[in-house]
Structure 1
Amino acid sequence: MQEEYMGYYANFDEEQRLVCQNITRIEFDTTINQLETFTQPAKKLTELGAATGRYSIYYAQKGLEVTAVELVPELVSQLEDNAAEQGVELSIHEANVTDVHFVPDSSQDIVLILGPLYHIQNESDRQAVIKEAHRILKPNGVAAFAYISRFFVAGLLAKMSSALVTPLVLGELHETGLVTSKDVDAFFRTGYFATPAEVEDLAQSAGFNIEKHVATDGFGRYIGAEINSLSESEYQAWLQHHLLVCSEPSLLGSSNHGLVIARKHG
């Protein structure tokens, strides 16, 4: 399974994902907005699963000392190139985020986990990532955990193909958070799709207090064509509306991505 995951991201244009459409821009814009009050006073940030560095480079440009950890060699190469192109210094490590022993205990103000949780299918490995975040954070440090909602994915499967609307496929997703059907691409076969309550429980069981829980995309993916057709001024108006309502609990399950921001016990 890991080999299929590595192959998928070796050939996927992750660099452009967060900027190529309005419905993906909103993920980045919302995450940055919701983290602002926590990152402003911070000095040291580690991103676990940094991909090509969209977030790591952004925060390095803001003056933070950033450690970026990524497993896929092709993404690490892009990350290194992007950092050099932008003229920022990052501490970059090619490693599995379940073990970041090279980051000292209680050394970080912020830890970002904005992708790994929806590709780690083993529960003990998901717990290991959260425990590593807790270990490297200073007392009262803050972690951000992104996930993909299994409730959203059920609707997405129905939109993709009626052949996926079966008790077997939907039942597996509902019960396990997995989609193993041969009729989906590698992103889904290697994915893990959580419930909002599960991610809160995961954080709390590792010693975190929940500070915020937001619907990163809201219901925008259901009206994707309409959101993508907005002009820049219209997009900004939609974004401001979305930011007003993204903390509404009733939106969490219908959002593609959710974001839990949690603080380590002092």
Structure 2
Amino acid sequence: MQEEYMDYYANFDEEQRLVCQNITRIEFDTTINQLELFTHSAETLTEFGAATGRYSIFYAQKGLDVTAVELVPELVAQLKQNAVDQNVELNVYEANATDVSFVPNSSQDMVLILGPLYHIQEESERQAVIREAHRILKPNGVVAVAYISRFFVAGLLAKMSSTLISPLILNELNETGLVTSKEVDAFFRTGYFAKPSEIENLTKSEGFRIEKHVATDGFGRYIGSEINSLSEQQYQAWLQHHLLVCSEPSLLGSSNHGLVIARKYS
């Protein structure tokens, strides 16, 4: 399973994913906006699953001391090159988010986990990732945990192909968060899709207190072509509306991505 995951991201254009269309831009813009309250006073930040460095480089440019952790060698190479191209200094490690023993205990103000949980199918490994974040955070440090909603994925399967709408596939997704059908691509076969309440419970069980929980995309993915056709001025208007309502609990679960922000007990 990990080999299939590694191959998928080795050949996927992750560099452009967050900027290539409005419905993906809103993920980045919302995440940055929601983290602003917590990052403005931070000095040290570690990102698990940094990919090509879109977030890590952004925060390094803001003056933070950033450690970027990424598992896929091809993404690590691109991350390093991006840092050079943008004249940014980062501490970069090729490693699994379940073990970041190279980061000292209680040394970080912020930890970002904005992708690893999308593909960690074993509960014990998801717990290990959150536990590592807790270990390296200072007292009162903040973790941001992104997830993909299994409720959204059910609708996405319906849009992809009617052949995917079967009791077998939908029950598996609803009960386990997995989609193992050979009819879907590697992203889904290697994915883990969570319930919003599950991510809250996961962070709380490892010693965190929930500060915020937002629907990162809202319902924008359901009207994707309309959002993508917006002018820049219209997109900014939609973004401002979305930022006003993204904390509305009724939107959680229907959003493609969710974001839980939590603080380590002092």
TM over 0.5: yes
Deviation string, structure 1 residues 136-179 (Cα, Å, up to 9, x no partner): 00000000000000000000000100000000000000000000
| Counterpart Cα distance in 1 of 2:264 and 2:202 | 13
Match of 2:14 in 1: 14
Match of 2:96 in 1: 96
Match of 1:164 in 2: 164
Task: List, as ranges, runs of 4+ consecutive aligned residues in structure 1 with deviation greater than 4 Å.
Answer: none
Match of 2:175 in 1: 175
Deviation string, structure 1 residues 83-129 (Cα, Å, up to 9, x no partner): 00000000000001100000000000000000001110010000000
Whether 2:126 is the aligned partner of 1:130: answer no
AA in 1 matched with 2:76 = V
* Alpha-carbon distance, 1:56 to partner: 0.0
Written as runs of structure 1 = structure 2, the 5 A alignment for 1:112-151 is 112-151=112-151
Whether 2:146 is the aligned partner of 1:152: answer no
AA in 2 matched with 1:86 = Q
Match of 1:253 in 2: 253
* Alpha-carbon distance, 1:180 to partner: 0.2
Written as runs of structure 1 = structure 2, the 5 A alignment for 1:197-208 is 197-208=197-208
| Counterpart Cα distance in 2 of 1:56 and 1:253 | 27
* Alpha-carbon distance, 1:248 to partner: 0.1
AA in 2 matched with 1:106 = S
Identity of aligned residues (%): 82
RMSD, aligned α-carbons: 0.2
| Counterpart Cα distance in 1 of 2:220 and 2:184 | 22
Match of 1:209 in 2: 209
| Counterpart Cα distance in 2 of 1:79 and 1:33 | 23
| Counterpart Cα distance in 2 of 1:43 and 1:174 | 40
* Alpha-carbon distance, 1:59 to partner: 0.1
| Counterpart Cα distance in 1 of 2:44 and 2:230 | 37
Match of 1:73 in 2: 73
Taking structure 1 as the reference length, what is the TM-score of the superposition? 1.00
* Alpha-carbon distance, 1:132 to partner: 0.0
* Alpha-carbon distance, 1:50 to partner: 0.2
Match of 1:45 in 2: 45
Match of 1:26 in 2: 26
| Counterpart Cα distance in 1 of 2:138 and 2:119 | 26
Whether 2:114 is the aligned partner of 1:109: answer no
| Counterpart Cα distance in 2 of 1:253 and 1:88 | 36
| Counterpart Cα distance in 1 of 2:97 and 2:171 | 30
Match of 2:62 in 1: 62
SS at match of 1:102: coil
* Alpha-carbon distance, 1:225 to partner: 0.1
AA in 1 matched with 2:190 = T
Whether 2:254 is the aligned partner of 1:243: answer no
Which stretches in structure 1 are left out of the alignment for 5+ residues? none
AA in 2 matched with 1:237 = A
SS at match of 1:201: helix
| Counterpart Cα distance in 2 of 1:36 and 1:218 | 19
* Alpha-carbon distance, 1:243 to partner: 0.1
SS at match of 1:210: strand
SS at match of 2:178: coil
* Alpha-carbon distance, 1:21 to partner: 0.3
| Counterpart Cα distance in 2 of 1:253 and 1:50 | 24
SS at match of 2:112: strand
Aligned residues: 266
